[in-house]
Structure 1
């Protein structure tokens, strides 16, 4: 056989194999995880797992990247630019209604950990979400989980989407600036931004989704949120990597529940808390109960999320969502 013909056949074979395994990846290949705001306390387990060396303990080569909002990270995952995302579980349900399958393989938080903050200026006449009519409300990004939750909370108080505006303002400094400049009268954000606004007096708590009782009162049940999710097809073709990632994150969840907020804060980069580490520790201490102990999906949680999204998303409401394809505990260590 001529060399040129052998070369062509080899090339054709490689092309066929690549087409058959679109998620093919070398065993020690880098894994990139996009985090929807790496300095947010709700997503802290991602950085902690890296700092504690748990990825390396599993033989993984993981790189963490940050996106301004969960929806940005989700888009990167669907495009195949990253292998996993640390974001909100609700995206898995929303995307299934659009014909795309992603699944949470580790759940970090039983509740959103988000807070609807109202500016001090607007607070006298903005006492509940029923007063959202005519207001501009801040979200991290359009199509983000803060967008989902804001629409639901307003609708539950009788305010239709047409009666208020949503403005993407990110989190941290950009969110605070939007409040201070009156570009938004209220908005949804998480820690440590919440504590910073309360300390300066620039905003007050309107709806609190940081605890189980408050979340159940506002949303009708637990709302599993911060999680690590991947494309279902990737997990199926990379079971070893998926298992190692889930095990690494599960170790971190156990670490969080066996160490103090001060000990945990000592592991995070300085830019997570700036010049006020005490404020960060205080916010983290108040946030610890929202974390799962083992990374497993809380019972009844997926049903609550589906109910919330179905309330104002026609595509989700009309779709036959298979919740069993939106999460799995299969890659986690066996329950004790």
Structure 2
């Protein structure tokens, strides 16, 4: 399948129903006979546990069961995945819900169609060397802190934690270091003193005794403590116009993802890990990868439904530091829809 020239270096994680994509000389007609049932989805890091439902849905065969051909692509940060959606390179993004608010005030209308989680799943780590100087977010001042990318959700959350604790965003330096080995290397080399990341990177850092956890937002309780409420994060979001024009296809996608969330809620971390690609363990081994899934599982919803107070929490967090949102009127009702998850459930 020919890739868009704007994303030539992206790794193709998987193509479902490949025969249906090529059977008609490149026509994208799927087995259902609907030419719109072929979808590209960009994920802000396919190997991150917070976005696990994307690949797991493919591995369980649920996209195929719904007769929708899904091509999963990956970018290291959510902000880059967002860019691919806005530019039209893909039809959907698996990333943080907070991007829908940020984009709305920029005149771009996107919406979450299925909500994977009600907590960020993020962890603020500090290196062992800097642990004596950073005991809480109050100590961010003057520090270099890793984020996946500037303008990413890890960037958003780091800035909120700083401002909430009396540190202005101009008083520390966010450094784009990605996730996985690039994050770990930056921590080891001292180019950052700490940073926000997810599993399995967290599990690897702890296993190698390279740092410690400062703030843990992998559970609803952790989210409430750090952010003052449930924080809907990983989701499938799409451009609103595309959703309205392709409701049957969106429903198939949501059906598949809701099946996965329900499957996850009734299976152990070991069983989930066994379904995932072996290289997602990032060299830490199967047991460590399963443990990282176990630690992160509480962040996921069981039905794909947006938590009632979640959007308001996200808006409050973003307005605390984002000048574009601070005085903007955000229509939260246009940042997500429950139309498809209600039918799926």
Could you say whether these structures have the same fold, taking a TM-score greater than 0.5 normalized by the shorter chain as the test? yes
Residue 138 in structure 1 maps to residue 146 in structure 2: yes
In the alignment, the residues of structure 2 paired with residue 319 and residue 157 of structure 1 have an alpha-carbon distance, to the nearest angstrom, of: 23
Structure 2 counterpart of 1:242: 250
Structure 2 counterpart of 1:54: 62
Structure 2 counterpart of 1:326: 335
Structure 2 counterpart of 1:13: none
With over 3 angstroms needed to count, the CA separation of the structure-2 counterparts of 1:335 and 1:268, relative to structure 1, is: closer
1:149-298 counterparts in 2 under 5 A?
Answer: 149-273=157-281, 274-298=283-307
Contact 1:76-1:82 at 8 Å conserved across structures? yes
Contact 1:247-1:333 at 8 Å conserved across structures? no
1:294-309 counterparts in 2 under 5 A?
Answer: 294-309=303-318
In the alignment, the residues of structure 2 paired with residue 136 and residue 309 of structure 1 have an alpha-carbon distance, to the nearest angstrom, of: 21
**29-38 vs 109-118, greater mean Cα deviation:** 29-38
Structure 1 SS opposite 2:270: helix
Query: Shift of the alpha carbon at 1:194?
Result: 0.5
Normalising by structure 2, what TM-score? 0.89
In the alignment, the residues of structure 1 paired with residue 133 and residue 85 of structure 2 have an alpha-carbon distance, to the nearest angstrom, of: 41
Normalising by structure 1, what TM-score? 0.91
Q: How many residues align?
A: 312
Residue by residue over 1:209-235, the C-alpha shift from the partner in whole angstroms, topping out at 9 and shown as x without a partner, is 111112111111000000000000000
Residue by residue over 1:61-120, the C-alpha shift from the partner in whole angstroms, topping out at 9 and shown as x without a partner, is 100000010000100000000000000000000000111110000111110000000000
In the alignment, the residues of structure 2 paired with residue 119 and residue 330 of structure 1 have an alpha-carbon distance, to the nearest angstrom, of: 44
Structure 2 counterpart of 1:9: none
In the alignment, the residues of structure 2 paired with residue 260 and residue 96 of structure 1 have an alpha-carbon distance, to the nearest angstrom, of: 38
Query: Shift of the alpha carbon at 1:275?
Result: 5.0
Structure 2 counterpart of 1:109: 117
In the alignment, the residues of structure 2 paired with residue 295 and residue 128 of structure 1 have an alpha-carbon distance, to the nearest angstrom, of: 33
Residue 85 in structure 1 maps to residue 97 in structure 2: no
Cα RMSD between the aligned structures? 1.2
Query: Shift of the alpha carbon at 1:333?
Result: 4.0
